[in-house]
Amino acid sequence: MDQSLTRNFCIIAHIDHGKSTLADRLIQMTGAMRGEEIRNQVMDSMELERERGITIKAKAIRLSYQPKDGQTYRLNLIDTPGHVDFSYEVSRTLAACEGAVLIIDATQGIQAQTLAHIYVAMERDLEIIPVLNKIDLPGAEPERVLDEIESVLGYDADAVLSISAKTGEGVSQVIEEIVRRVPHPKGSIQRPLRALIFDSHYDPYKGVMAYIRVVDGRVRKGSNLRLMEQGTQIEVLDVGCFIPETSPVDQLEAGDVGYIATGLKRVGDCRVGDTVTTASKGAEQALEGYRPAKPMVFAGFYPTEPGDYDDLRGAIEKLSLNDASFSFEPESSPLLGFGFRCGFLGLLHLDIVRERLEREFELALVVTAPSVRYAITRTDGKTLIITNPTDLPLPNEIEKLEEPWVSVSVVTPSKFIGALMELIMENDGVYKHTEYLGHQSLGDLGQRVKLDYDMPLRSILTTFYDQVKSRSQGYASMDYELQGYRESRLIKLDIWVNELLVDAFSRVVTPDKAHDIGKAMVNKLKEVIPRQLFKVPIQAAIGSKIVARADIPAKRKDVLAKCYGGDITRKRKLLEKQKAGKKRMKRLGNVEVPKEAFMDVVRLSL
């Protein structure tokens, strides 16, 4: 196929602005499959994603378009993830494209995610086709939004197409614009193979399916390839594209987008962002790839029953086959036993993974706050690295305590500088500098600004990223780099439940926050722990010094129903239910606690 007839593009948009609808329309209008089927089969392949209305995995569909000039164009639509947690995934999709259709909702105008993706698209020099969608809705304000587009993005109102993906109005023009304006790929079929892996997926029958964008050369079934950076050797079992169902082809060549079935067992063996080339006489220089996705949120995942550890490990490994952005490593806690410290792209990602583990793999999980590694120099000169707050020596044994620091940069519209600086300061950030990016002011959002701070790693581990997003209405983005260790004055805050030290709740905190954090945790526990057969004192302490306490009084009465001849079976069933409920509880010594209690305590945004 002549590269000049190929167009590789994606659709970028804020959530619910009509990306899926437009995709369906395009697929429909180019003759590939009926609307409903595509949705269900290809674009959203996981039940959970469908429920939440978001897409996690990127996929590519080959469309055929025959305009009046008689040529047949090949349009490769590469799907992009819909949620802001996954914006790094968008950037890797964009690398496979030359153009992007940018959808803006005529009722809502430019939103946070729109901007985020535009920046990435601009950085990659993509041809952007702005499109105003939902013009059919009564609440549509095309003039206002076109004005906004002009002032914020700089696109002439006349250059913006007005469409309704729902009714189909204007969509054929979108296709024509794609053909007209998106540059065709310019690689060379003569040169040695270079193909960028922009996504992957594990198939039980074919092994890892790598989605590739071929830049130079060609690849066919049986080709022997290697990953240029990772080194993995691959024998191509199968080559194909999606129309939208998988469709094997003879070969993929320069300019094409499709998949290769590698037979590899682990997604990790076929790293996204790497370049594939032929095993022998391959290319010399790899294509520009990506940095691996950085986890932004960490948590400890433990099985509620220690006996389920192996099941949890198996489930996590299986899940990670298809989600390379989810990282994990073994961790342990004296109270909870063995588990994993997991890294996620955001709290939503954490929630999704947790739900999948619980639902698909039927695991009962405890999710805890994670910990950083501390470097201790003891008074006797010995040094040690600890991850568990419980391993922290007594204060009088510690000569020096150091913790890892990160340099954090937050890019935000200037409107939110105040709120974000406040957040960073609350989290022990040390200011470095502010840089204004570009010259353009984005309406009342102001100019784009980059804030650079140094922060302790522990500050950004849980809810920080989420708060960056919420304090900036989603417009800000964040990045961090590990920097090294610095000395800190930190102490261990312990939580005692019924005179038992619950190390799952122990935290390393700054002295000035100990009382507040302790009080909040104690109050939360009092709220979520049900009354027991005995009084339960709850205390927050630093060593032996109690900084907060609350008591849960003993239960005095349960539901005492009458029980006569007609009640016996029903009463017995209620008791059976009660008994079953006990099994699902976690025990802290003698205290029975529903597992949700742990999650609640951990999720305190402190």
Partner 1 sequence: MILPDQLNRIMNAIRTLFDIAGKKTEVSLEANPGTIDEPYLAAIRQIGINRLSLGVQSLDDKTLVLLGRIHTADKARQAVRFARNSGFDNLSLDLIYGIPGQSLTDWQDTLKESVRLEPEHLSLYPLSLEDDVPLSGAIQNGELPAIDPDCTAEQYEAAEDYLAAEGYRHYEISNWAREDAECRHNTTYWQCEPYLGIGVAAHSYIDSHRQANTHDLDEYIRIYQLRELYQPEMVEEIAPETQLAEAIIMGLRLVKGIEFESMIDRFGIDVTDRYEREMDELIHWGLLESDGRSLRLTRRGRLLGNEVFWRFLPQ
Q: Which stretch binds partner 1 (CB under 8 A): 69-77, 103-111, 257-265, 572-580?
A: 572-580
Select the span of 134-142, 196-204, 390-398, 556-564 touching partner 1 (CB under 8 A): 556-564
Task: Name the strand (E) or helix (H) holding 361.
Answer: none
Q: Please report, as a single letter, which amino acid is at residue 88.
A: Y
CB of 366 to partner 1, least distance (A): 24
Picking from 323, 80, 315, the residue whose alpha carbon sits closest to that of residue 201 is 323
Size of the residue set binding partner 1 (CB under 8 A): 23
By CB under 8 A, residue 583 contacts partner 1? no
Looking at the Cβ atoms of 233 and 578, the one nearer to partner 1 is 578
Cα gap 518→200, rounded to integer Å: 44
Q: Which is nearer to partner 1, 432 or 570 (CB)?
A: 570
**Identity of the residue, 36 or 558, whose beta carbon is nearer to partner 1 in the bound complex:** 558
Stretch that binds partner 1, among 221-229, 480-488, 508-516, 567-575 (CB under 8 A): 567-575
- Cα 442 to Cα 150: distance, rounded to the nearest angstrom: 10
Residue number with CB closer to partner 1 (433 or 562): 562
Number of Cα atoms under 13 Å in the Cβ half of residue 528: 21
CB of 280 or CB of 580, closer to partner 1: 580
Structural tokens at position 288 = 């520009």
Structure tokens at 219: 């690849």
Which residues on adjacent β-strands are paired with residue 485?
A: 404
Q: Is residue 291 a contact point for partner 1 (CB under 8 A)? A: no
Minimum CB separation of residue 579 from partner 1 in Å reads: 4
Coil, strand or helix: which one is 510?
coil
SS3 5: helix
Considering only the stretches 146-154, 241-249, 371-379, 577-585, report the one whose residues sit in contact with partner 1 under the rule CB under 8 A.
577-585
Alpha-carbon distance values, 92 to 34, 103, 318, 377 (Å): 28, 19, 23, 43
In the complex with partner 1, the residue whose CB is nearer, 293 or 593, is 593
Q: Which is nearer to partner 1, 383 or 578 (CB)?
A: 578
Q: Is 556 a residue that touches partner 1 (CB under 8 A)?
A: yes
CA-angle at 107, arms to 102 and 113, nearest 5°:
40
- Comparing CB distances to partner 1, the nearer of 245 and 567 is 567
Is 564 one of the binding residues for partner 1 (CB under 8 A)? yes
Nearer to partner 1 (CB atom), residue 439 or residue 562: 562
Distance CA 149, CA 365 (A): 46
Please tell me whether residue 425 binds partner 1 under the rule CB under 8 A.
no
Q: Using CB under 8 A, which of 158, 439, 569, 583 touches partner 1?
A: 569
Q: Nearer to partner 1 by C-beta: 68 or 556? A: 556
- Residue 563 DSSP symbol: -
- Residue 566 sits in the site that holds partner 1 (CB under 8 A): yes
Which three-class secondary structure state does DSSP give residue 583?
helix
Which of the residues 116 through 145 are near partner 1 (CB under 8 A)?
none
Rank residues 291 and 562 by Cβ distance to partner 1 and give the closer one. Answer: 562
Nearest distance in Å: CB 321, partner 1: 39
Residue type, 20: S
Bridge partners of residue 374, in order along the sequence: 386
- Determine the interface stretch with partner 1 among 116-124, 355-363, 539-547, 573-581 (rule: CB under 8 A): 573-581
Question: Does residue 582 touch partner 1 according to CB under 8 A?
Answer: yes
Cα 83 to Cα 95: distance, rounded to the nearest angstrom: 18
Q: Are 480 and 410 in contact (CB under 8 A)?
A: no
Q: Mask: binding to partner 1, 381-420, rule CB under 8 A, as x and -?
A: ----------------------------------------
SS (H, E, C) 151-192: HHHCCCHHHCEECECCCCECHHHHHHHHHHHCCCCCCCCCCC
Does residue 433 bind partner 1 (CB under 8 A)?
no
| Options 317, 530, 563, 596; binder of partner 1; rule CB under 8 A | 563
Say whether residue 437 binds partner 1 (CB under 8 A): no
DSSP 406-435: EEEEEEEEGGGHHHHHHHHHHTT-EEEEEE
User: Per rule CB under 8 A, is residue 561 in the interface with partner 1?
Assistant: yes
**Residue 84 and residue 256: Cα distance in Å, rounded?**
28
Q: Which of 425, 430, 437, 575 binds partner 1 (CB under 8 A)?
A: 575
For 74-121, the DSSP string reads: EEEEE----SGGGHHHHHHHHTT-SEEEEEEETTTBS-HHHHHHHHHH
Site membership for partner 1, residue 565 (CB under 8 A): yes
Please identify which residue in 186, 555, 584, 587 interacts with partner 1, judged by CB under 8 A. Answer: 555
CB of 562 to partner 1, least distance (A): 6
Q: Is 589 in the site for partner 1 (CB under 8 A)?
A: no
CB 213 within 8 A of CB 196: yes
Residue 381 vs 565, nearer CB to partner 1: 565
Q: What is the DSSP letter of 25?
A: H
Assess 534 for contact with partner 1 (CB under 8 A).
yes
Distance CA 573, CA 577 (A): 6
Chain contacts with partner 1 (rule: CB under 8 A): 533-534, 553, 555-566, 568-569, 572, 575-576, 578-579, 582
